Amino acid sequence: MAILLYKWLWTIATVLGTPSVTAEPAVAAHPLYVSVTEINHNVTDKTLEISCKIFTDDFEKGIAEVLKKKVDLINPSNKEEANKLVSEYISKHLNITADGKPLKLEFVGFEKEREVIWSYLQVSGVPNPPKKISVKNNILYETYESQINMMHVTVGGKRKSYKVSNPETDAVFEF
């Protein structure tokens, strides 16, 4: 019960507290399923730093449905296998293009924080701030018809946000 309450509070805070190109009411008759993806251009390291925040129970269910393997992300019996599954799932559901060039996401790792999993990825060799970042994000779409994926992209100190709702997958950020 506490997890459900936390999910509701986190979801409402995320949806209401985040500017979006499409303004829709945050009130629903059933629980909302939300992920948050952050993309930041790091000029010093010449990388794009990517993090995905997904509720643990939803993420485990998505991995089981797509990859046909059961995993405990809170207390994995095999951390290497858990890393592989998280990496494989994210790579199937998150595609990023910068200035028209598809980017190869490098999985860095994941960690748990209360009821969520933070997955970390990066793209090396991005020396100049991209002018246009296109994202295809269908995280947990096969698991939840009402899935919402929030995306925040920061380039040159400017932050832009967008939300896609299943079945919509594409967002474009221009700087």
Please give the chain's pLDDT, 175 residues, in tens. Answer: 444 444 544 444 444 444 333 334 444 344 789 999 999 999 999 999 999 999 999 999 999 999 999 999 999 999 999 999 999 999 999 999 999 999 999 999 999 999 999 999 999 999 899 999 999 999 999 999 999 999 999 999 999 999 999 999 999 999 9
What is residue 2's predicted lDDT score, i.e. its pLDDT? Answer: 45
What is residue 16's predicted lDDT score, i.e. its pLDDT? Answer: 41
What is residue 127's predicted lDDT score, i.e. its pLDDT? Answer: 87
What is residue 29's predicted lDDT score, i.e. its pLDDT? Answer: 40
What is residue 5's predicted lDDT score, i.e. its pLDDT? Answer: 42
What is residue 7's predicted lDDT score, i.e. its pLDDT? Answer: 53
What is residue 32's predicted lDDT score, i.e. its pLDDT? Answer: 83
CB atoms closer than 10 angstroms to residue 50: 24
Joined tokens for residue 78: 């095999």
CA distance 111 to 118: 5
Under DSSP, the state recorded for 93 is H
Joined tokens for residue 146: 């009402």
Q: Where are the alpha helices (DSSP H) in 54-111?
A: 56-67, 79-93
What SS3 class is residue 142? coil
Specify whether the CB–CB gap between 37 and 52 falls below 8 A: yes
Joined tokens for residue 105: 């996401």
What is residue 88's predicted lDDT score, i.e. its pLDDT? Answer: 98
The packing angle between helices 79-93 and 56-67, to 10°, is 80
